[in-house]
Amino acid sequence: MATKSISRRDILKTLTMGAMAGSVLRVIPAQAAEYAHHMVAAEKAATTTGVYTPKFFSPQQYKTLQTLCQAIIPVDTDSGGAKEAGAPEFIDLLTSENPKYQLKLGGGLMWLDAQCTDRYGKAYLDCSPAQQKEILDLIAYCKNAEKDPGLSQGVEFFAFLREMTADGFFTSEIGIKYLGYVGNTYLLTFPGCPSVPEA
């Protein structure tokens, strides 16, 4: 009996089905998220430009996703940000295989642009940095949705996007280096616990 080979699509569906309960790291092993990062890297290496092509989001939505991810985990003196870590690619790849992600994230990006158009007369990317910060401050806190129920979809969207961005960042090479994680190691000797000073 021939064994059926497991396709890239099967792996992605498995990842996204397991991740629906919440943050990817709570449900699937970090090795599986690492595999998704390797899939993105291999795809980028196979192109002449070395640029990732979004699988689900439109080019405009993908630019918005990149901007939001970078706002969630920006570049600092210690590390690159979410964009440099490949979080937008990670999110797009998983979203391309999961209709629930598509609804949450695709619908959330449409909601964000619609809100910005209503408030500022232009889509999120065309808003000034101050306007972008203002709308993100509104949807970053659950208490704001309690005061204004019209923000509830945005609050839910942004909370989910933060989880996905954190998962994409902290399972990437940049994120793992930022954490200082060295993997499973063993000690040749154990010096014991430090002594407790007497009171």
- Mean pLDDT of all residues in 137-144: 93
- Mean pLDDT of all residues in 138-158: 93
- Helix, coil or strand: residue 160: helix
Q: Is the pLDDT of residue 106 over 90?
A: yes
Residue 2 CA from chain centroid, whole number: 38
The answer to pTM > 0.75 is: yes
Q: Is the pLDDT of residue 181 over 50?
A: yes
Count other C-beta atoms under 10 Å from residue 155's C-beta.
Answer: 21
User: How far are the Cα atoms of 19, 71, 96, 151 from residue 174, in angstroms, in the given order?
Assistant: 22, 17, 23, 33
Q: Supply the pLDDT for residue 190.
A: 76
Q: Supply the pLDDT for residue 12.
A: 58
Q: Supply the pLDDT for residue 15.
A: 57
Confidence of residue 104 (pLDDT cuts 50, 70, 90): very high
**pLDDT one-digit tens code per residue, 65-74:** 999 999 999 9
Q: Supply the pLDDT for residue 103.
A: 93
Q: Is the pLDDT of residue 16 over 90?
A: no
Q: Supply the pLDDT for residue 122.
A: 96
Q: Supply the pLDDT for residue 39.
A: 86
Residue type at position 39: M
**pLDDT one-digit tens code per residue, 25-58:** 544 556 677 778 888 888 888 888 888 999 999 9
Give the angle 165-55-150 at the CA atoms, nearest 5°.
55
> Which residue, among 87, 96, 101, has the nearest Cα to 168 in the 3D structure?
87
Confidence of residue 133 (pLDDT cuts 50, 70, 90): very high
CA distance 87 to 109: 16
Buried b (16+ CB within 10 A) or exposed e, 22-59: eebbeebeeebbebbbebbbebeeeeeeeebebebbee
Query: Radius of gyration over alpha carbons of the chain, in Å?
Result: 20
